[in-house]
Structure 1
Amino acid sequence: MSPYVLTILLSSLGLGTTMTFASSHWLLAWMGLEINTLAIIPLMAQHHHPRSTEATTKYFLTQATAAAMILFASTTNAWTTGEWGIDSLSNPLATTMFTTALALKIGLAPMHFWMPEVMQGLDLTTGLILATWQKLAPMALVIQTAQTINPELLTVMGILSTLIGGWGGLNQTQLRKILAYSSIAHMGWMVIIIQYAQQLTLVALGMYIVMTSAAFLTFKTAMSTKTSTLATAWAKTPTLVSMTALVLLSLGGLPPLTGFMPKWLILQELTKQDMPLMATTMALAALISLYFYLRLCYVMTLTISPNTTISSTAWRTQTIQTSLPLALFITAALGLLPMTPTILTLLT
């Protein structure tokens, strides 16, 4: 892809997200989401391959459906209330439709079915953008309207997402599908607490973006898209593989790593809200997710290569990829735990 075209597309991605962040009018927020979607479509389809074309088509259809539902919900709300402001969402039908559309946008259960299939057809760089940057604008709208959305609906979606994200990733061997189910599970953690403590949602979203970026960039450096090829990574970059194992365990929420802190704070807040059963369900769902992260760690660090792998051994050539973003994200993913009180203080 031409550098000029790539610059325009990435600038449009930033413009769409910023427009949604800054908007207080439904049409402006909808326009930002549309610019965001239309900017990532060429990035997804740049590899002229049937899988990427299929993934792009699925993504476009689901996002177009979600955008139409948001536009219809905002029009319905304006029709009944006479207000176009985002904070004036009061019509029950419009609220439910809007929540469903945003769940479709971010891949929240039970509207999650497109996420693993789309992620599987993309390269790792575009998958990273889809799993991180594309979540920001819809999550901003969810946070702004969290107090008007039906709390039971948010709770059901949050629990379903954590359970489906855990169960769905158990039998996967494709790394992109595993990270897609990881995204679904983490979205459930963010959504279930959003009505009680929005700062915890922001903390969980920030930690998720840092850890997922580290995982995607590591797999890109190791040129791995399947769990079987991870077994050859130890012989090439042992230090990176050691750090990646800790990043994956942090994604699973294992103490004393960074990913444990948002989950612990969310469970603590749920307990304070007299929802111990909910907190127990979320903790058990996190244990299910932790299993497939442990399986990836086992394949990377405890499997002797290349005797037990069925894939061909990759050439041990020097990588030409930029390592600074990878180093920054891994450092942040492993060292942000002591900074959590400071982050919470800044957000409250």
Structure 2
Amino acid sequence: MNPTTTTMIMFSLATGTIITASSFHWFMAWIGLEMNTLAIIPIISKQHHPRATEAATKYFLTQATASALILFSSMINAWQSGMWDITQPTNQFSSILFTAALAMKLGLAPTHFWFPEVLQGTTTTTALILYTWQKLAPMTLIYLTTNNLSPSTLLLMGTLSTCIGGWGGINQTQTRKIMAYSSIAHFGWMAAVSTMLTNIMLLNLLIYTMMTTTLFTTLILTKSKTIQNMTTTWALSPTMTATTLLTLLSLGGLPPLSGFMPKWLILNELVNQDLTLTATIMAMSSLLSLFFYLRLTYTTTLTMAPNTTNTTYKWRFNLITSTLLTTMIPPTLLMLPITPVLMQ
């Protein structure tokens, strides 16, 4: 792709998210979402491959439907109240429509079917953008409208997303699909706590973004697209293999790693709100996610691919370095001790 074109597309992608995040008018928020969607379509389809074209088409149709629902719900609200302010209370019908639209944009269950298929048709770098940057605008709208959304709907979607995110990832062998179901499960946790404490939701989003960026940087550097590809990661860089082990365990939410912090705080808040059954279901479903994280861990770091004693490492051993990876590893692994500071 032409460098000028790439620059314009990436600038539009960033501008769309910033417009949505900084607007208090429904129409401007909708314009930002549309800019964001139209900018990511060429990035997804630039491979000139049928799978990429299919992924771009599915993404466009889903996001266009969600944006239309957002515009429709805001028009209903403006028709009845005469205001386009995002923070103003909305009626129940408009609130349910808006919640469903944001769930579709984020890929929450039961509107999650498009997400793994789109990610499987893209490159790993594009998948990283879809996992992280493309989630910021809908999460900002949830943050701004948390008092107007339906708590029972979000709790139901969050619980269902954590269950489906765990069940769906068990049968997958493609790393992008595994991470897609991981994303569905993580955003289920955020949706469940969004109507109670938004600061925990933002903390979860921050930690999830750092953990996903760390793991995807590793996948990009090692060109690992399947579980089978990850079995030879140790031959490229033993240090990166150890880092991958800890990152996967952090994504699974095991203490004393950073990924344990948001799940701990969310479960604590759910119990405080007398939602013990919901907290139990979500904690049990996280075990399903932990299973496929441990399977990735086992194949990546605890097994050794067939080799002879003369070919312990690849013939040309290249030193793999990444500024992004070295920047993201410490917060991905070591943020648990500063939990009280972050919650003040």
Instruction: Output the TM-score relative to the length of structure 2.
Output: 0.96
Alignment-derived partner of residue 335 in structure 2: 336
Amino acid aligned to 1:327: T
Equivalent position of 2:34 in the other structure: 34
Q: 1:2 to 1:83 in 2, by over 3 A?
A: same
* Equivalent pair of 2:235/2:314 in contact (CA under 8 Å): no
Q: Which range moves more in the overlay, 322-331 or 91-100?
A: 322-331
* Residues in 1 aligned to 2:302 and 2:13: alpha-carbon distance in whole angstroms: 40
- Alpha-carbon distance in structure 2 between the residues aligned to 1:175 and 1:281: 26
Alpha-carbon distance in 1 for matches of 2:72, 2:211 = 35
What is the CA distance between 1:331 and its match in structure 2? 2.3
Does the 8 Å contact 1:231/1:306 carry over to 2? no
Deviation at 1:340, TM superposition (A): 2.6
**How far did residue 58 of structure 1 move?**
0.5
* Shift in CA distance, 316/267, structure 1 to aligned 2, threshold 3 Å: farther
* Contact 1:232-1:314 within 8 A present in 2 as well: no
Find the counterpart in structure 2 of residue 310 from structure 1. Answer: none
Residues 236 and 316 of structure 1 are in contact (CA less than 8 Å); yes or no, is this contact kept in structure 2? Answer: no
- Provide the C-alpha distance between the structure 1 equivalents of 2:69 and 2:107, rounded to a whole number of angstroms: 15
Change beyond 3 A, Cα 1:342–1:7: farther
Q: Answer yes or no: is 1:14 the counterpart of 2:14.
A: yes
The separation in 2 between residues aligned to 1:7 and 1:129, in whole angstroms, is: 15
Partner of 2:322: 323
Count of matched residue positions in the alignment of Structure 1 and Structure 2: 340
Q: Distance in 2 between matches of 1:168 and 1:208?
A: 19
Structure 2: distance between partners of 1:306 and 1:2:
42
Question: Structure 1, unaligned stretches of length 5 or more?
Answer: 308-312
Aligned counterparts of 1:327 and 1:3: Cα–Cα separation in 2: 27
Q: Identity percentage over the alignment?
A: 54
Residues 306, 182 of structure 1: alpha-carbon distance in 2 compared, 3 angstrom cutoff: same
- Partners of 1:61 and 1:314 in 2: CA distance: 46
Aligned to 1:189: 189
CA distance in 2 between partners of 1:62 and 1:162 (Å): 21
Whole-Å separation in 2 of the counterparts to 1:286 and 1:144: 28
Over the aligned positions, Cα root-mean-square deviation in angstroms equals 1.6
Offset, 1:306: 3.0
Q: 1:74 to 1:247 in 2, by over 3 A?
A: same
CA deviation vs aligned residue, 1:255-280 (integer Å, no higher than 9, x gap): 11100011001101111111111111
Q: Tell me if structure 1 keeps the 8 A contact 2:109–2:161.
A: yes
Q: For residue 145 of structure 1, what is the amino acid of its counterpart?
A: T
Distance 1:198 1:50, change over 3 A: same
Judged with a 3 Å threshold, the aligned counterparts in structure 2 of structure 1 residues 133 and 185 are, in CA distance, closer, same or farther, namely same
Q: CA deviation at 1:218?
A: 0.4
What aligned pairs does 1:1-348 form with structure 2 within 5 A after superposition?
1-306=1-306, 317=316, 323-345=322-344
Instruction: Say if 2:73 and 2:95, in contact at 8 Å, map to a contact too.
Output: yes
Aligned partners of 2:109, 2:82: CA distance in 1, in Å?
Answer: 32
- Distance in 2 separating the partners of 1:11 and 1:178: 29
Q: Residues of 1 paired with 2:172 and 2:336: CA distance?
A: 29
Deviation at 1:89, TM superposition (A): 4.0
Counterpart amino acid of residue 327 in structure 2: L
Letter in 2 for 1:329: M
TM-superposed deviation, 1:320: 8.9
Q: Gaps (5+ residues) in structure 2? A: none
- Does the 8 Å CA contact 1:235/1:305 hold for their aligned counterparts? no
Describe the superposition over 1:284-315 as per-residue Cα deviations: whole angstroms up to 9, x where unpaired.
111110000000000001222136xxxxx997
Distance 1:306 1:223 in 2: 19
Deviation string 1:225-258 (CA, Å, 9 cap, x unpaired) is: 0001111111221110111110011001011110
- CA spacing shift, 1:146–1:319, aligned 2, 3 Å: farther
Structure 2 counterpart SS, 1:87 = coil
Q: Is the 8 A contact 2:236 2:314 kept in 1?
A: no
Structure 2 CA distance for partners of 1:207 and 1:223, relative to 1, 3 Å: same
Query: How far apart, in 2, do the equivalents of 1:344 and 1:98 lie?
Result: 29
**Contact 1:146–1:195 under 8 Å retained in 2:** yes
Q: Which amino acid aligns with 2:261?
A: M
Q: Deviations over 1:85-108 (max 9, x none)?
A: 111241211111111111010101
User: What is the CA-CA distance between 1:341 and the residue it aligns to?
Assistant: 2.4
Judge conservation of contact 1:221–1:319 (CA < 8 Å) in 2: no
